[in-house]
Amino acid sequence: MHNSYIDLVANFGIGGAHPGGFSLTQSILEDENIQPRESVLDIGCGTGQTAAFLAQRFKCQVTAVDNHSVMLKKARKRFESSDSSILVIEGDAQSLNLMDNSFDLIIAESVISFTNISKTLNELSRVLKSGGRMILIEMTAEQSLPLEVQNKVCSLYGINEILNEQEWKSKLQQAGFSQIEIIDTPSGLIQTDITDINQSENINMDLYDVWEEHNHFITQNHDYIGFRAFRCQLL
Amino acid sequence: MSQANFYDLCRRYHGRNVRITCRDGRVYRGEITRVTRDMVWIRPFDGLGGYGLGFGGFGFGGFGIGIALGAITGIVLASAFFW
């Protein structure tokens, strides 16, 4: 499905394009005690900044999946220039062409919100090993959203439902996850410096408009929508 | 993207902090202070305009550094929030 917000991130090639940015990613992963023999799935890898970090820093076995061709192209390019081997797969988080019980750890950075949430959580639960853990950083409703905000989120980001913290927890439980904890993160929608960028040539001016519209939306609605980082385990 | 597009973008981002990439690979980060048909001026906010070299030895009075629009290959906001 066409999504101009994802096109924006893909064409500008912005790494760390999730709440908290790459610094949050690093601090969470440093606490995770990731071992070289472990297999890690980066679902919705984008241009591959997190996957490259995982492979380089922890020497673990990384699989990076995305469904956007521009993202995948830029991710592959990034991995080429590093000496770590990362398996790159084009795929849909809602229906993965991966074996059951394949991964020790899954990381999803602002990815699941852009899909059918229950479908994706069930799929991630299927490919995660029993006892495996999952980290997600996702858009979260801070209060009930007025209809016009809901409609705007839908048209701007192609997102159909925004869960609150409790709804995330119960969806995770329904998909078989337990020991669900909230990772402490800086509150608020803080801007991060764009340092990791791989811009496509000839970016359509429309995408600059999408960026402006997105900025405007964030300024207007930060009381309604925030984010949470969750850590959970499969029974 | 054409010089006219970059002109429009510079006007749009006037007063905001941007990251400008040039044909020679140099990257400048700073606030856009002035835009003309051929040039954009930025006041660098991290020393001498990112890792661009050759501007040492004098301070940035007035509008800051002038960059020819024809030398630019990309302009984006320097910081942003993304989902």
Q: Which residue has the higher pLDDT, B13 or B59?
A: B13
Given the cut 0.85, state whether the ipTM is greater than it: yes
pLDDT tens per residue, range A3-28: 999 999 999 999 999 999 999 999 99
User: A56 — contact with chain B (CB < 8 Å)?
Assistant: no
Nearest CA in chain B to A18: B83
B82 interfaces chain A, CB cutoff of 8 Å: yes
Nearest CA in chain B to A218: B81
pTM of the model: 0.91
Across the interface, do B79 and A194 touch by the CB < 8 Å criterion? yes
Which of B65, B69, B79, B77 has its CA nearest to residue B6? B69
Each domain of chain A, given as residue ranges in start order, spans 4-234
Chain A residue with CA closest to B75: the answer is A199
Spell out where chain A has E strands. 39-43, 61-66, 86-90, 103-109, 128-141, 177-183, 192-193, 225-234
Chain segment A120-160, per-residue pLDDT in tens: 999 999 999 999 999 999 999 999 999 999 999 999 999 98
Candidates A63, A167, A69, A189; CA nearest to A117 is A167
Of B8, B9, B19, the CB nearest to A194: B19
| CATH code of domain A4-234 | 3.40.50.150
Q: What percentage of chain A's residues is helix, strand, coil (to nearest 5)?
A: 40, 25, 35
Q: Which DSSP state fits A156?
A: H
Q: What is the mean pLDDT of residues A216-233?
A: 96
Q: What is the rounded distance in angstroms from the CA atom of residue A192 to the CA atom of residue A25?
A: 13
- Out of A17, A113, A205, the one facing B82 most closely (by C-beta) is A17
Q: Taking the CA atoms of chain A, what radius of gyration do you get in angstroms? A: 17
Bridge partners, residue B29, by sequence: B19
d(CA A175, CA A117): 10
CA distance A37 to chain B (A): 31
A174-221 pLDDT, tens digit per residue, is 999 999 999 999 888 999 889 899 999 888 999 999 999 999 999 999
Q: Does A217 touch chain B (CB under 8 A)?
A: no
* Single-letter residue type at A158: G
Per residue in A74-132, pLDDT tens?
999 999 988 788 999 999 999 999 999 999 999 999 999 999 999 999 999 999 999 99
Domains and CATH numbers, chain B: 3-77 (2.30.30.100)
- pLDDT for position A2: 78
What's chain B's Rg over C-alpha atoms?
A: 12
Angstrom distance (rounded) from CA B2 to CA A152: 32
